[in-house]
Amino acid sequence: MFYLIGLGLGDAKDITVKGLEIVRQCSRVYLEAYTSEEFYGTKLTLADRETVEQEADEILKDADITDVAFLVVGDPFGATTHSDLVLRAVKAGIPYRVIHNASIMNAVGCCGLQLYNFGETVSIVFWTDSWKPESFYDKIKRNRQNGMHTLCLLDIKIKEQSLENLMKGKKIYDPPRYMSVNQAAEQLLEIIQNRRNQDKELAITENTICVGLARVGAINQKIAAGTLQQMVNVEMGGPLHSMIITGSLHPLEIDMLKLFAVDKSSFENIRMEDSSTYVS
Amino acid sequence: MFYLIGLGLGDAKDITVKGLEIVRQCSRVYLEAYTSEEFYGTKLTLADRETVEQEADEILKDADITDVAFLVVGDPFGATTHSDLVLRAVKAGIPYRVIHNASIMNAVGCCGLQLYNFGETVSIVFWTDSWKPESFYDKIKRNRQNGMHTLCLLDIKIKEQSLENLMKGKKIYDPPRYMSVNQAAEQLLEIIQNRRNQDKELAITENTICVGLARVGAINQKIAAGTLQQMVNVEMGGPLHSMIITGSLHPLEIDMLKLFAVDKSSFENIRMEDSSTYVS
């Protein structure tokens, strides 16, 4: 059997009891990212995205007669999908099973915004001097016009090569980079400035209520609610970060967001001001 | 500390290792629905929705000096939210922590449709002779016009009283009812019939590709992909069921859905026909 096992979001103990039992009975266990080998009590083989693409057949080898597990941070079908491994397994006649777990796509509910009030999820990528895509803005705008919240997944750059090293064929990688809530807010504010004069239906402003989230599910997770402008300077700590642009807010959602308000005294006033910016 | 702990979707072993450790150290443990007391190794107190609303103070009592856990099927902030308990805890000066787990809101990715291609989630309620709300149709239509998939959560009726028992003040409840994929598809088809002559932009038809899901995360889960018409008769087995109305399909998504096709031979043709029904 080929098992795709979600590890959840916090630490090694966020694996499910079922998942851990399976890991311990498997003859081979691969994982996407570093996790605690000691805790799982079995030898783990690191398999980053590149390895999975190049060595999928190796990973699935003999999984029809033995048990093989592939461990994925979050849920196996969360933000990054593992459909390709499933399709290969099925094609090779290998049965598979998925052990689900929390991912940012559902754990984001911890800030108190209702999951069924979210529209399309967007990704915000690192801008460069010459490449500043704005397409996510239009998706946020569409969600907001429909009163929906938008979960923004923030860019991660792992195993990136500098142009110099790439040209020299050197497999030297830049240090990993994780977009912060501050950076995401800055990019959004720049887009708003660009659109201010063109766009009659400016559906997001500096005062739009946003939620910054860091290390969701971990013991030191942080949630901060405030204006988009406040997100530029809020101190969220280390990665991973996500950000939500709110749509229409239900009273119970507002009560929850107040628990995490950057500035509790002004939160209610901000919201009243902001609600006039959407087009309904 | 007050702990909100997600149990995941399948059986008792879908709790996380961290969640189980906390349950075993708590002085009181409440749970929303029946689960295996033996497995968790501690005494559990059943607390349905009514109990939670009426006895929230009792549940939270002394949680500032002892550990109390509240167990929730899926994730604590999944389809049903537990914000009210969190707000009460914070107001009473009780620290709280959330132990996340899978919920239908993210586990639905197991059918191969990408979570970031989903729009707003909708609920389909049981119709009665005199009450046939159609508002979910408009949300599905809006998602589909934007190329997005729609997760439809299907109605559950638990602890419902008949009008007779309600009037007599008898606390006798009807047996629980769970909407099936078949019933949801029938209601949608009825709406399509109603709209056919009024609605120029008919964004859903009998041939729209849908996905039926039953008992997601359990060992006997079932996924079926086919037309909305096919969903009327597909045999999904016992509850809980959910249904997805697809939007624009990516080739990798189509490959995954084919694994679950009700009629593998005609699946590709259906899709080609269907793609002409959205308005883009």
A118-152 per-position pLDDT tens digit? 999 999 999 999 999 999 999 999 999 999 999 99
A177-199 per-position pLDDT tens digit? 999 999 999 999 999 998 887 76
Q: A218, A242 in Cβ contact below 8 A?
A: no
User: What does DSSP assign to residue B222?
Assistant: E
Taking alpha carbons only, the member of A228, A236, A222, A225 closest to residue A262 is: A225
The per-residue pLDDT for A36 is: 59
**For B90, which residue in chain A has the nearest alpha carbon?**
A259
Q: How would residue A280 be classed by pLDDT, with cut points 50, 70 and 90?
A: very low
Nearest to B78 among A109, A146, A216 (CB): A109
Amino acid at A250: H
Cβ–Cβ of B17/A15 closer than 8 Å? Answer: yes
- Binding residues of B for S-adenosyl-L-methionine are 9, 75, 78, 103-104, 154, 216, 241
Cβ–Cβ of A107/B119 closer than 8 Å? Answer: no
- Between helices A181-196 and A135-145, what is the axis angle to 10°? 80
Top CATH class of A105-277 equals alpha beta
Nearest to B107 among A20, A100, A116 (CB): A100
> Could you name the CATH architecture of A2-102?
3-Layer(aba) Sandwich (3.40)
A4 in contact with B, Cβ within 8 Å: no
**Cα–Cα distance, A193 to B25 (Å, whole number):** 53
Examine the predicted complex and report whether its ipTM is higher than 0.85. Answer: yes
How far off is chain B from A215, nearest CA to CA, in Å?
Answer: 13
Residue window 134-173, chain A: list those with CB within 8 Å of chain B. Answer: 142, 146, 148, 153
Residue window 186-225, chain B: list those with CB within 8 Å of chain A. Answer: 216-217
The continuous run of DSSP H or E covering B186 comes out as helix B181-195
pLDDT of B59 above 80: yes
B122 in contact with A, Cβ within 8 Å: yes
Nearest to B100 among A9, A77, A142 (CB): A9
B137-193 per-position pLDDT tens digit? 999 999 999 999 999 999 998 877 788 888 888 888 888 899 999 999 999 999 999
Number of neighbouring beta carbons within 10 Å of residue A123: 17
Domain locations along chain B: 2-102, 105-277
**For residue A163, how far is the Cα from the chain centroid?**
27
Q: B105, A117 in Cβ contact below 8 A?
A: no
The per-residue pLDDT for B46 is: 87
**Cα–Cα distance, B201 to B108 (Å, whole number):** 28
B98 in contact with A, Cβ within 8 Å: yes
pLDDT of B71 above 90: yes
Contacts of B79 in chain A (CB under 8 A): 115-116
Answer whether B2-102 and B105-277 agree in fold: no
Please name the residue that has the structure tokens 């750059």: A157
B116 in contact with A, Cβ within 8 Å: yes
The per-residue pLDDT for A218 is: 94
Nearest to B8 among A10, A16, A148 (CB): A16
Nearest to A13 among B17, B123, B148 (CB): B17
**Cα–Cα distance, B268 to B280 (Å, whole number):** 21
